[in-house]
Amino acid sequence: MTTLVEGADLVTRVAARGRPGADAVVGPHGRLTYGELRLRSAALATRLAGGTSPVLVYGHKEPAAVVAFLAALRSRRAYVPADPSSPPARIERMIDATAAGDAVLVREAPPALSVALSERGIAPIRLDPLAEALPIGDAPRIARPSDAMSPAYVVFTSGTTGDPKGVPVPIGALDHFTAWLTHAVGLADDEIVLDQAPFSFDLSVMGLYAALLTGGALFSVTAEETGDPRVLFARLDGAPITTWVSTPSFARFCASEPRFRRAMLPRLRRFLFCGEALAPRLARELLSRFPEVEMWNTYGPTETTVAVTGMRIEASRAAGERPLPIGRPFPGIDVWIADGADPATEVPAGHDGEIVIAGPQLALGYLGTPARGGFVTLPGGRRAYRTGDVGHVDPTDGLLYCGGRLDRQVKLHGYRIELEEVEVQLRRVPGVDDAAVLAVERDGRPDHLAAFVTGGAPLPPSDLALTRAARALLAEHLAAYALPRSVRRLPSLPLTTNGKVDRSALRALL
């Protein structure tokens, strides 16, 4: 094996693990061994080594995406995953926000994205799904030293201004998170890890490194497969998955299939959940279908590198309807419940407040506006991240709980959406004067978005036609999961006595 960078950093650790002939990625596009992953990422790194700017990686679960991520890390450049579920206009904003100087396409780009790249003078590097055609070059000597504060990747989240927010996560933060993942969770060698979340969602980071740092394999399932339950369960039936990484929503979807139980995944050792609340009912159901399988509830925002708290959930804890705890902070991370007005002031145990996080997993701030949003500097100069999540500490056992938001961010089937982002985009639809968007719940969980607008011509007269037209326009800027299911026109938006949009009155109209 060729060592590209000196020092025991993440890439070196990944490169040191898997046996050359062992699978690193297995998916519907084919399989990639560690030997191939090393050679092909080294070859691509020779192409990328000339630059320093971030590298856009466009695709969805192709093994070549993993080649591109490692190549970027090897050449000391951050990777920026862009999933086809994001429209080209959104990806264009990501390119501009990151000032990406290279783009690796592991699937065919839509024409609008190709145009956007060429307008910026970026000649895309095209790879087939397995990166097979890559010429093997000499390993470059990278002069730049390993720097814990240089970004490993940039993930974009929904932004209230209508633009997605880029979160650069430094190598040191990723190192800290993956150390917890591999040690505290007790991963074995050769974990086969379910890889279902798009690489543009930071939950996928948990699966990616759980596989690569144990010398195991990513078991990739695509959105196309998930969209066809027959295909999905045929893929999962008898799959050698040992660690399941997903949102609870995806596991709930799988649990709608009665065959989703021990016999389907005979080697499964643990569920690792993150990204949204884990309901006791789902935990109970899964633990009864998969006896002896461990279940972990982990919590954290993208801005603090995937997860910062976690614990194992035993069947006894999931017995009632009481919300499940999110555990304790990982070693080295500080998590406290702050007074809403002052992030430095902790509220007494048992009291609700805002969850605030400090420590080595903090991202570098938002791209372009590092001090915006939840990133704050506390008295004494320490950085912290205000999550906007409401939480409390149980005074009896010190466990953390998370429930509710201080703002209008929602989690829809695991995807993070700022309702303001959808409203900003709706106000750009020709004819729309104002817009309000609600998350509609089903079985106590957000299920879809409903929008209300005011305005006139050229808006179509019927709500059905309006919904169709507005969704088509919004789809140019928003990810598919953020499109409202319905758009209804009102003569005016109802207001509360203090002049704000009356969301409960809107809800009553549904």
Note the residues at the interface with ligand AMP (CB under 6 A): 157, 202, 274-278, 297, 299, 301-302, 326, 387, 389, 402, 411, 416
Residue whose CB is nearest to ligand AMP in the complex, by number: 302
C-beta closer to ligand AMP: residue 387 or 467: 387
Structure tokens at 317: 């804890």
Give the residue from 392, 390, 388, 393 showing the smallest Cα distance to 375: 388
In terms of phi and psi (left: phi > 0; alpha: psi -120 to 50; beta: otherwise), the region of 431 is left
Q: Least distance (Å) from ligand AMP to the CB of residue 404?
A: 9
Structure tokens at 101: 């100087």
C-beta closer to ligand AMP: residue 63 or 353: 353
C-beta closer to ligand AMP: residue 69 or 401: 401
C-beta closer to ligand AMP: residue 389 or 423: 389
Q: Does residue 326 sit in helix, strand or coil?
A: coil
Q: Least distance (Å) from ligand AMP to the CB of residue 125?
A: 28
Q: Least distance (Å) from ligand AMP to the CB of residue 80?
A: 16
Q: Cα separation of 348 and 339, whole Å?
A: 9
The single-letter DSSP state of residue 256 is: T
C-beta closer to ligand AMP: residue 13 or 408: 408
Give backbone dihedrals phi and psi of 76, rounded to 5 degrees, phi first: 65, 35
C-beta closer to ligand AMP: residue 194 or 274: 274
Q: Least distance (Å) from ligand AMP to the CB of residue 469?
A: 29
Q: Least distance (Å) from ligand AMP to the CB of residue 274?
A: 5
Q: Least distance (Å) from ligand AMP to the CB of residue 167?
A: 8
C-beta closer to ligand AMP: residue 222 or 302: 302
Q: Cα separation of 180 and 174, whole Å?
A: 10
Structure tokens at 311: 């614990």
Q: Least distance (Å) from ligand AMP to the CB of residue 275?
A: 5
- Judged on CB neighbours under 10 Å (0-12, 13-18, 19+), 491 is exposed
Q: Cα separation of 390 and 483, whole Å?
A: 26
Amino acid present at 72: A
CA gyration radius for the chain?
23
- Judged on CB neighbours under 10 Å (0-12, 13-18, 19+), 233 is middle
